[in-house]
Chains A and B, each alone.
Chain A
Amino acid sequence: QKEVEQNSGPLSVPEGAIASLNCTYSDRVSQSFFWYRQYSGKSPELIMSIYSNGDKEDGRFTAQLNKASQYVSLLIRDSQPSDSATYLCAVEMDSNYQLIWGAGTKLIIKP
């Protein structure tokens, strides 16, 4: 059974600080990794995708991938109250392009 694990939180971070969200996965052959943000009552919104080891930066967001450790993380710099949401980690299965989802981490940014 392929799994994706996240700490469900809530993770509370002061406004302006760096929020660090982590995810581990079990399928060693997976090549595609995604972070989605989901506000309460809304559908998931893709914020980052990463396919290679290392860091990928997009504005205040940095995704980090370490395939040897089977670990993906998302850093949010200069956290804003509007970043408060649930962040879902998803790993794509090579065989059929389906996504395996983590349980999501609820992030709260405190003003």
Chain B
Amino acid sequence: SAVISQKPSRDICQRGTSLTIQCQVDSQVTMMFWYRQQPGQSLTLIATANQGSEATYESGFVIDKFPISRPNLTFSTLTVSNMSPEDSSIYLCSAKEYSYEQYFGPGTRLTVT
């Protein structure tokens, strides 16, 4: 199974600012995903990070608000831009290879004041 780390683990940010979350996998993986999880709720997929091409965003999420980079097969970043209190959430990255299971990083707890 892949070991995934995320930085920062938590942050408190002011509204209108941006935060970039980093996700590092200990092995090369084809697919990386970014999720958001509100307290007491299930996971919501933000986008699939594609190496060498633009991320694929789910309905309700746009590139201007959540730009994603995937420069290689072990690393991805998610930026939360122009933050508002509604962006307060836990952000999770995950990784998988075809026909294998999906594993998660420890998450980033974001609070926007």
Contact = CB atoms under 8 A, between A and B. Distances in A.
B95 to A, nearest CB: 11
A43 B106 contact: yes
Given A46-B101, A97-B98, A88 B107 contact: no
Given A46-B101, A46-B103, A98 B48 contact: yes
Nearest to A44: B104
B48 A45 contact: no
Contact of B1 (A42, A46, A104): A46
Contacts of B107: 42-43
Given A43-B92, A43-B105, A43-B106, A104 B48 contact: no
A102 B41 CA distance: 10
A98 B103 contact: no
Interface residues of B, number: 18
Interface residues of A, number: 17
A44 B43 contact: yes
B98 to A, nearest CB: 7
A43 B104 CA distance: 7
A37 B92 CA distance: 15
24 contacts: A34-B101, A42-B106, A43-B104, A43-B105, A43-B107, A44-B43, A45-B104, A46-B1, A46-B101, A46-B102, A88-B42, A88-B43, A96-B48, A97-B96, A97-B98, A98-B33, A98-B45, A98-B48, A99-B43, A99-B102, A101-B42, A101-B43, A103-B41, A104-B42
Interface of A: 34, 42-46, 49, 88, 90, 96-99, 101-104
